[in-house]
Amino acid sequence: MTDFFIRQITPEEAGKVIREIGFDESYICVGIKKYGFRLYKICNLTCAQATIVKQVALSAGADAAVHREVLVCGVEKSDLLIGATVAQLETICTKLLKQPFGLKELAHQLREKLSLTFPPALTIRCKTFDWMAKTYIMGILNLTPDSFSDGGKYLDPDVALEHAKKMIDDGADIIDIGGESTKPFSQEVMPAEEMRRILPIIEKIRAYNDEIPISIDTRHSETAKKAIETGADIINDVSGLDWDEKMAATTAELGVPVVIMHSLGSPDVMQQDPTYSENVVDAVYKDLYAKTQKALSAGIKPENIIIDPGIGFGKAFEHNIELIKRIEEFKTLGYPILIGVSRKSVIAKVLNVPPMEREEAAIALNSYAASKGANIIRVHDVNSHYKALKVLDCVIRSS
């Protein structure tokens, strides 16, 4: 009797496996498209559009799920979930190009998503951020008296400099400096005070090290401009360019990278019973899409955009968990992803421990996020994350 050995293979390894089998080498690039399965959610289709897309999917050997009332036009709009191999999706796009009701544009957009690769590399000072190569670490330096974890620890510029030095030695790729706490229920700090806190330490870090990229965590364009002129390189705006109407134009004028984050309101009100009228992933995705379009319209270069789903910013525990679990879906926007869960309440809800005892849990969540596509991890403890992510990258970047 013949012994059969059956093993499930992950789609990411299909190319390696068919090569090992002895498949025709010249046909691998074409053949692999039949093994890579994709799921895409398409929103806001009319009944006619949804019906046609479903029928085209079926004709290609794939399938699509739509609202049960679509066939009788019982709803005005329907979302659609299409599941197909890459080869089938290419066939679907070709067929949709010949369809009415705006489906030609849908075909172009779907083809664009199919061809998405890693975002282009970004060079900041002497450092090239190659998103294919590794997971990058952003070390947090709070120059505030009231941050939830380390408020008041680094108010002295010399103490702050020593902490920055340690983070650099421990493997930080970026130092993120903030002069305004954005913890839940915190109040706005005016730009003058914000600059009083941050500019001296930017100058000190630059005098010590002229190569480490520095990001400025601010929602004020005046602060951002002065910080960049003083030696910072990146703007990290928790409001996603919404708080200060001049921020988008200022960022474009400065020509620097910007982290665009989702937040449900400003810090003083964002945690007052945060609710969403739709799935939180849909809501955050649509908001980040709108914010990135605003950035592009203002003249910000696409390669300078980084997105952040804003864990803890206007989200209940369940929202945060859902966003972390599905972080990979945000790759479809086409920008590098930053995530910040370090010592946040999403960990406390599970472990019920104070901020300084949440590091192991933060490593677990950040490692999961990195394995699913997060490119930059914003952390308090650089050293432990550097070790964890260096090993993780050996696994997830090995191919």
| CA 277 vs CA 26, 58, 274, 283: distances in Å | 50, 32, 10, 8
Q: How many CA atoms lie within 13 A of 65 on its CB side?
A: 5
Tell me which residue has tokens 């988008």: 248
List of residues 6+ apart from 154 with CB closer than 8 A: 141, 142, 143, 160, 163
Bridge partners (DSSP) of residue 78 are: 45
Say which of 197, 225, 344, 358 is annotated catalytic.
344
CA dihedral 344, 348, 354, 358 (to 10 degrees): -70
The string of DSSP letters for 210-225 reads SSS-EEEE-S-HHHHH
| Strand ranges, E, within the chain | 37-45, 63-65, 78-85, 122-124, 127-129, 136-142, 174-178, 214-217, 234-237, 258-261, 305-308, 338-339, 376-379
125 given a catalytic annotation: no
End-to-end CA distance of the chain: 37
Tell me which residue has tokens 């496996």: 17
Comparing CA positions, the residue from 302, 208, 317, 222 lying closest to residue 255 is 302
Say which of 95, 331, 343, 378 is annotated catalytic.
378
Two structure tokens written together for 79 = 């979302």
User: 110: burial class by Cβ within 10 Å (0-12, 13-18, 19+)?
Assistant: buried
Q: Report the C-alpha gap between 177 and 305 in whole angstroms.
A: 19
Q: How many CA atoms lie within 13 A of 218 on its CB side?
A: 35
378 given a catalytic annotation: yes
Bridge partners (DSSP) of residue 129 are: 122
List of residues 6+ apart from 22 with CB closer than 8 A: none
Q: Report the C-alpha gap between 30 and 53 in whole angstroms.
A: 24
Residue positions annotated with a catalytic role: 344, 378
